[in-house]
């Protein structure tokens, strides 16, 4: 038998009618204990993520506390983003608790309470629109996506939040206004709000992680540990959009066997020169996949954002300032200029 969060179809949650269950939110990864639905209200559609405590309580009381704390953390961040009007972060519409009065025979009626988050509904993540055909219009779109992501990270960083799980599936597209927003703040880190994942060196997807974490090197400063990771993930979106591969994959594949994470047993500072050499080679090779008229500019941004040294990573001028900020805001203008430049090139050749 299922649990309460699996029986929401037909229920009315905060005025929203639950129409259908979906395997996952179009583009979002969701949580381990969550169930996703499409909901409607007055002709509008939204996405509902539901959770109950049945699975967690079968593990331990500590797991219950962890799941509840994680839920409340994500809700707090989403509420803050909504109240601060962070336009490039997926908008939380409603949240709360819902009690299901009727459960199938055999289900635990002691755990019929569902905790939910309702979000605006995107058309999907950017992967459904991704093409590698080299067309100018495609390059314009990719630069636009990078600009939108940089804006989103700047909005989060200005509120002392690091996303930590920026990857293609968490960049959602809204076709009506041709915009993108970041989703899934469940793995984020905040300088002001504690999270269960704070104890994890890198809480995001390790397939996209900055290389230092694969070598068990964890910077102590929040900027170098969390904001620097976001910079790497932003740079990795460049390689993904133009080659389909993450920056981590490209760099590690280029490193000799003795210096790969599963073979290396020394300090990160000792393996770093080999990673920098690999990163430099990857950056040069990346140029062949970039728009001809912008390849030097984009590859230079990639080199800075995905630099293997977390203490160097980011905009060089920003890193020299007091507090050593990463300087994501500087890339907002860079990507914006690149979008306009590529659009002009497209217009002149069409």
Q: Tell me what pLDDT residue 27 has.
A: 39
Q: The whole model's pTM is what?
A: 0.93
**What fold is seen in the domain 124-349?**
Transferase(Phosphotransferase); domain 1 (1.10.510)
Whether residue 310 has pLDDT greater than 50:
yes
Q: Where does the pLDDT of residue 137 fall: very low under 50, low under 70, confident under 90, or very high at 90 and above? A: low
Report the percentage of the chain scoring pLDDT > 70: 93
Q: Tell me what pLDDT residue 107 has.
A: 67
pLDDT in tens, 232-265: 999 999 999 999 999 999 999 999 999 999 999 9
DSSP code of 276?
A: H
Residue 45's alpha-carbon distances to 83, 120, 122, 157, in angstroms, are 21, 8, 10, 30
Q: Tell me what pLDDT residue 1 has.
A: 61
CATH of domain 4-120: 3.30.200.20
Q: Tell me what pLDDT residue 33 has.
A: 62
Helix (H) or strand (E) holding 336: helix 328-349
The larger pLDDT score, comparing residue 123 to residue 55, is at 123
Look over the chain and give the mean of its residue pLDDT values, rounded to a whole number.
Answer: 92
Residue 192's alpha-carbon distances to 13, 152, 170, 249, in angstroms, are 31, 19, 23, 33
Q: Residues 84, 160: contact at Cβ < 8 Å? A: no
- Region 309-323: mean pLDDT is 96
Ranges of each domain in the chain: 4-120, 124-349
């Amino acid at each position: 038998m299922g649990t309460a969060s699996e029986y929401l179809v037909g229920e009315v949650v905060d005025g929203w009618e639950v129409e259908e269950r979906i395997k996952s939110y179009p583009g979002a990864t969701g949580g381990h204990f969550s169930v996703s639905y499409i909901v409607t209200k007055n002709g509008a559609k939204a996405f509902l993520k539901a959770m109950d405590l049945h699975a967690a309580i079968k593990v331990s009381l500590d797991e219950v506390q962890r799941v509840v704390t994680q839920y409340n953390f994500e809700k707090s961040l989403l509420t803050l983003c909504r109240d601060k009007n962070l336009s490039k972060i997926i908008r939380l519409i409603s949240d709360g608790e819902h009690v299901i009065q009727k459960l199938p025979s055999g289900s635990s009626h002691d755990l019929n309470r569902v905790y939910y988050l309702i979000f605006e509904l995107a058309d999907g993540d950017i992967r459904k629109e991704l093409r590698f055909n080299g067309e100018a219009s495609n390059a314009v779109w990719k630069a636009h996506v990078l600009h939108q992501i940089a804006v989103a990270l700047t909005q989060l960083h200005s509120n002392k939040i690091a996303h930590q799980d920026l990857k293609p599936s968490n960049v959602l597209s809204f076709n009506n206004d041709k915009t993108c927003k970041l989703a899934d703040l469940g793995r984020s880190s905040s300088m002001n709000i504690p999270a269960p994942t704070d104890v994890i060196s890198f809480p995001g997807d390790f397939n996209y992680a900055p290389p230092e974490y694969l070598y068990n090197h964890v910077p102590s400063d929040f900027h170098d540990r969390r904001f620097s990771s976001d910079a790497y993930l932003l740079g990795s979106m460049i390689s993904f959009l133009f080659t389909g591969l993450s920056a981590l994959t490209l760099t590690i594949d280029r490193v000799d066997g003795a210096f790969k994470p599963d073979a290396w047993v020394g300090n990160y500072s000792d393996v770093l020169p080999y990673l920098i050499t690999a990163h430099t080679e990857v950056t040069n090779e990346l140029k062949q996949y970039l728009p001809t008229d912008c390849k030097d500019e984009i590859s230079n941004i990639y080199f800075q954002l995905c630099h293997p040294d977390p203490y160097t990573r980011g905009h060089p001028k920003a890193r020299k300032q007091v507090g050593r900020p990463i300087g994501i805001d500087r890339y907002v203008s860079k990507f914006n200029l690149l979008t306009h430049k590529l659009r002009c090139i497209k217009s002149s050749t069409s």
